[in-house]
Structure 1
Amino acid sequence: MAEEYPINVNVKVYNEGIGNAFRKVAELGQKKEWTKLLETIDGDPQLINSCALVEKNTAHTLNTPLHHAALGSAPKEVFEQLLEMGSAKCLKNLAGETAYDIAAKSQLSQDILKLIEVPKEIKRKEAIIAKLEEGLHKVILGRVENLIKENGQALPQVAYLFEKGEFYYAVPGMYGGFRVTKNGDKGIVSSSWIRVCGGSGQEHEIDNDGNTKLVNEGFV
């Protein structure tokens, strides 16, 4: 089963309880309350790669708990527990920084840097991943650009696929989303559908140069 990509949207898209949960995780990270942060995530594992939702007069930061640990120079044990819970090392914040980038600038210990180093495959394929991401975003916007804008939704980072495996990117209001998988060495495949609309399925292949091709449609 594909892992759900940690989407980030305007707070109004979700109910108050979800918005509060995302906000709490971000606030605990900002306040360096590591024990409470870990306890909160342990109680709701889906928060492990969460970011504060966008509220009035604020913008995306895309700082995950791992980013907050790096920003707050957390002890090594905090990084270890976050990784055990499923923190993604590859995710970048709005400034384009991974937790490793932040930790390196802050001169955290080599032990911590080794723990949170971005997987070698992702670093080796950085240019290709950027092209794949460009193509995937084109496919998503081609289907639901209006909803992405309405939701204030951050588009997915393809590096996540190379660290965590295939993922499902849900789009609130679409009643469906995009399942993203590898296509061998040729690129990636995006399968998308709207659950309440029979025959809405579309499958796109995206090659390593970011070119997109509709290869199948009309499925449920």
Structure 2
Amino acid sequence: MHHEWAGGCLTSTYHDNYAAKRNKLADYAFNGRFDKALECIEESSMVNGWRLRNPEDTRPASGWTTLHQAAMLSSSTISHIERLISLGAYRNIRTMDTKENAYEIAKKNHRSREILDALKPHYERQLDEQTIRNLQKGLEEVVMSRVASIIEEKKFRIPSVEVLLELPGLSLWCPIPGFYGGFHIKLREDNSIETESSCRVAGGSGQTHVIQPDGTWKVTASGLY
């Protein structure tokens, strides 16, 4: 299964139709209408989408996905939650405002043991918390070294290492809006992260970076593609 990170936080990042669908999904989830939310997800493959802000809205994005809302609201059932997970909902992703994953939200809201068990974070490979923090810091530095102006302008959310650790294959693709390319991100056997990035309209723009478990990183290849 191909895993793609959709880190945009502004409506202007996407086509109007897609942005409207994303925010309709966010409305359904916020209001606890999980049958309708699931219909929307099954039609549009936006299971990990959060509400997009208008560019003039100075509030930061909350980053609450449908699974986060389902973890909190009593109108969700175990069937809703299991279906979301089967459709690819990330259990490890944290909200952008409260920095909580779905399990922590469910526990705080006294959800059933069955729901808590379903929402426990999942790791294809276990790393200690400090290593995860180091890798996250290094990944953010690598991405910013390549596309800082785009990240800042579009308020783009850089991929989460915790999500990477959840994915079969331990890899994901992160397209960068306005870059005409993006980052292939993969956890290697030695627990370092390798990123390959390029811009399709700029020949020789490709670079490979390796981020070590201590957070240090370097360019290992450039002038590619």
Using the size of structure 2 for normalisation, the TM-score is 0.93
Residue ranges of structure 2 left out of the alignment (5+ in a row): none
Q: Which amino acid aligns with 2:66?
A: P
2:78 pairs, out of 63, 73, 76, with 76
Partner of 1:219: 224
- Does 90-99 or 118-127 show the bigger shift? 118-127
Measure, in 2, the Cα distance between the counterparts of 1:100 and 1:201: 38
Measure, in 1, the Cα distance between the counterparts of 2:152 and 2:199: 18
Count of residue correspondences: 219
Task: Give the secondary structure class of the aligned counterpart of 2:142.
Answer: helix
Measure, in 2, the Cα distance between the counterparts of 1:108 and 1:31: 17
Tell me if structure 2 keeps the 8 A contact 1:122–1:159.
no
For residue 9 of structure 1, report the CA deviation from its aligned partner: 2.4
Alignment of structure 1 residues 33-112 onto 2, 5 Å: 33-45=33-45, 47-55=46-54, 56-57=56-57, 58-73=59-74, 74-94=76-96, 95-112=98-115
Tell me if structure 1 keeps the 8 A contact 2:123–2:165.
no
Q: Which amino acid aligns with 1:188?
A: I
Residue ranges of structure 1 left out of the alignment (5+ in a row): none
Partner of 2:212: 207
For residue 6 of structure 1, report the CA deviation from its aligned partner: 2.3
Partner of 1:24: 24
Q: 1:123 to 1:183 in 2, by over 3 A?
A: closer
Q: 1:133 to 1:42 in 2, by over 3 A?
A: same
Q: 1:153 to 1:132 in 2, by over 3 A?
A: same
Task: Give the secondary structure class of the aligned counterpart of 2:198.
Answer: strand
**Are 1:146 and 2:149 an aligned pair?**
yes
Moved over 6 A (4+): none
For residue 19 of structure 1, report the CA deviation from its aligned partner: 1.0
For residue 59 of structure 1, report the CA deviation from its aligned partner: 1.8
Tell me if structure 1 keeps the 8 A contact 2:3–2:173.
yes
Q: Which amino acid aligns with 1:183?
A: R
Measure, in 2, the Cα distance between the counterparts of 1:126 and 1:66: 23
Tell me if structure 1 keeps the 8 A contact 2:181–2:200.
yes
Measure, in 2, the Cα distance between the counterparts of 1:171 and 1:53: 16
Measure, in 2, the Cα distance between the counterparts of 1:96 and 1:107: 18
Measure, in 1, the Cα distance between the counterparts of 2:201 and 2:131: 35
Tell me if structure 2 keeps the 8 A contact 1:2–1:179.
no
Measure, in 2, the Cα distance between the counterparts of 1:8 and 1:159: 18
Instruction: Give the structure with the higher percent helix.
Output: 1
For residue 176 of structure 1, report the CA deviation from its aligned partner: 0.4
Q: Which amino acid aligns with 1:66?
A: L
Tell me if structure 2 keeps the 8 A contact 1:202–1:219.
yes
For residue 120 of structure 1, report the CA deviation from its aligned partner: 5.1
Q: 1:131 to 1:5 in 2, by over 3 A?
A: same
Partner of 1:179: 184
Task: Give the secondary structure class of the aligned counterpart of 1:89.
Answer: coil
Alignment of structure 1 residues 97-176 onto 2, 5 Å: 97-119=100-122, 124-164=127-167, 165-176=170-181
Measure, in 2, the Cα distance between the counterparts of 1:107 and 1:200: 50
Task: Give the secondary structure class of the aligned counterpart of 2:224.
Answer: coil
